[in-house]
Structure 1
Amino acid sequence: MPFEATTNCACEYKPSPNFGERKNGRKVDMLLLHYTGMDDDAQALDWLCNPESAVSAHYFLHRDGSILQLVDENERAWHAGSSHWKGEEDINSCSIGIEIANAGHEDFAEKQLDVLHMLCMDIIARHGIPNYRVLGHSDVSPGRKVDPGPKFPWKQLAAAGVGHWADPDPMGVGRFFQLGDEGQPIQALQSMLAIYGYNVPITGVFDAQTETVVRAFQLHFRPERVDGVADATTISTLYKLNASLPKL
């Protein structure tokens, strides 16, 4: 069914059949960014509009910077899949999803990023989305997804008003924690990750799930080295991000 324009940005419409109602009257308070993981824009777009795929997004951003709206913002697009953030598992019902045409191994073109910035700012303003709830698919689905990937310029966008950021301290020698470590420092690390929103049990054991979540955190906030080791820089960056969250 045709739908009216939602965004104030120039776009065309290619409705996807893959959507439903937002559940329990959930309002939008999150913006989730993805990459398509494909070399060809048309192939990725066809997949998002194929009823057999059971996936979609609200917007599709071509490599040349042109925008397509696939699902009305009032509807629940199927872009997050199995996901979790701050205790919430139905991320599709609370989010707007943008699929960015990018294979994952390529740089994002400046023109594409300029348009993405405008689209994100428009969505954020209309829905009142806080900067710390502009996230990547990898944040809400650690290990299962890695998009929008290590080449995505989170710092650049955050400086322009899209997303949350804290400059990491220089990497160097310092205490670190890794798979198999146990104790109160691990419990503190897990607590800080959970406070920010990541799905990690607070057990005091640096297990495989904790390592996966640390990798997801690094992918977004410390992409210079994504190894799942909670080194001093990773921990200090997490601390600074949590310290800048609003006090409830």
Structure 2
Amino acid sequence: MKIRNHRLIRDDGSALAYLASPHAGRSISPRFLVLHYTAGSSAGGTVAWFCSPASRVSAHLVIARDGSVTQLVPFNREAWHAGQSRWGSLSGLNHHSIGIELDNAGCLIRSGGKWVSPLSRRSYPESEVTVACHRNDPPGTPPCGWHAYTPEQIEATLECGMALVDQYGLADVLGHDDIAPGRKRDPGPDFPLESVRARLLGRRDDHPERYRTTARLYVRSGPGPECAALPGTPLPPATVVEVLAKRGLWWEVDVVGEVNGVMDLVGWCHSKYLEAIGG
């Protein structure tokens, strides 16, 4: 993807979906990328709400669960996504950032034996839920369920983010929970923020989760046994991998070094056969 006239376009020059939100403020020179979850039940519903005169909220981009992208505000105009916020000496991050909303229900509660959104009351299967504590939670806080992001969303975030960093020279990639930690929890623990930040900004991930395989292990094209095994697998026991994303018990990993004659092997495997070895 690339950017022309502050709008996102495909590499072949064709336009992505664009629906103008009425909630766009003054001109900005963006310095940061801020990531959110919608806490809604569909990307279409979020886009419609952001375009409603009654909402008084917006974002520059909405990324659906299939990875499709809708833009609502030009990147050189303020979108109303951050609210009361601060990063370093800056306050009011709407005036300093580009906001991306990912279609995701966010924090889920257990009700009637199911994981349920407290807002929409929609239930989600175990395969779409990660049970974890939020990094900003006080010690002793019990874990809750978090709606899992899809691989397509992570890939779309990276593609959009790379275009934005290249065009505007963004200095950092932040979560809403970074800039409003007492008020917001998005994008939540299922989103691989450290890895996305590292890949977009060309930095080393300061806190990679490293694991060692405990048995011969197939790495697959997606999170499930029905997905194809990738060339170079199965990995031999004691192979070192770094975790990029988690979707329930299936984790996306980056294999460290060359294995079975294959370099840069990235895919999904079952976490049952991994043991932590520290950073």
TM-score normalised per structure 2: 0.54
Q: Greater helix percent: which structure?
A: 1
Q: Does 1:161 align with 2:161?
A: no
Within-5 A mapping of 1:51-200: 51-104=53-106, 105-130=146-171, 133-162=172-201, 165-167=205-207
Aligned to 1:28: 30
* Whole-Å separation in 2 of the counterparts to 1:42 and 1:31: 22
C-alpha displacement at 1:87, in angstroms?
A: 1.6
Q: 1:14 aligns with which of 13, 16, 19?
A: 19
* Whole-Å separation in 1 of the counterparts to 2:208 and 2:196: 16
C-alpha displacement at 1:52, in angstroms?
A: 1.1
- Against the structure 1 CA distance between its residues 168 and 46, is the aligned structure 2 distance closer, same or farther, given a 3 Å change threshold? same
C-alpha displacement at 1:32, in angstroms?
A: 0.6
Aligned to 1:195: none
Letter in structure 2 aligned against 1:142? P
- Against the structure 1 CA distance between its residues 168 and 65, is the aligned structure 2 distance closer, same or farther, given a 3 Å change threshold? closer
SS at match of 1:21: strand
Q: Is the 8 A contact 1:154 1:163 kept in 2?
A: no
Structure 1, unaligned stretches of length 5 or more?
171-248
Aligned to 1:50: 52
Structure 2, unaligned stretches of length 5 or more?
107-145, 211-279
Relative contact order: is structure 1 or structure 2 higher (C-alpha 8 Å, sep ≥ 6)? 1
Q: 1:38 aligns with which of 29, 37, 40?
A: 40
Q: Is the 8 A contact 1:39 1:103 kept in 2?
A: yes
- Against the structure 1 CA distance between its residues 49 and 144, is the aligned structure 2 distance closer, same or farther, given a 3 Å change threshold? same
TM-score normalised per structure 1: 0.61
C-alpha displacement at 1:128, in angstroms?
A: 0.5
Letter in structure 2 aligned against 1:76? E
* Whole-Å separation in 1 of the counterparts to 2:64 and 2:56: 21
Letter in structure 2 aligned against 1:143? G
SS at match of 2:196: helix
Deviation track 1:38-91 (CA, whole Å, cap 9, x = no partner) reads 122222222211121110001111111111110011111101010011121121
The CA RMSD measured in Å over matched residues stands at 2.2
Q: Is the 8 A contact 1:12 1:68 kept in 2?
A: yes
Q: Greater strand percent: which structure?
A: 2
- Against the structure 1 CA distance between its residues 62 and 168, is the aligned structure 2 distance closer, same or farther, given a 3 Å change threshold? closer
- Against the structure 1 CA distance between its residues 163 and 89, is the aligned structure 2 distance closer, same or farther, given a 3 Å change threshold? farther
Letter in structure 1 aligned against 2:191? F
C-alpha displacement at 1:169, in angstroms?
A: 8.9
Aligned to 1:208: none
Runs of 4+ in 1 over 4 A off after TM superposition: none
* Whole-Å separation in 2 of the counterparts to 1:12 and 1:45: 11
SS at match of 1:79: coil
Bigger Rg, structure 1 or 2: 2
Q: Is the 8 A contact 1:120 1:162 kept in 2?
A: no
Q: Is the 8 A contact 2:33 2:97 kept in 1?
A: yes
Q: Is the 8 A contact 2:173 2:197 kept in 1?
A: no
Letter in structure 1 aligned against 2:25? G
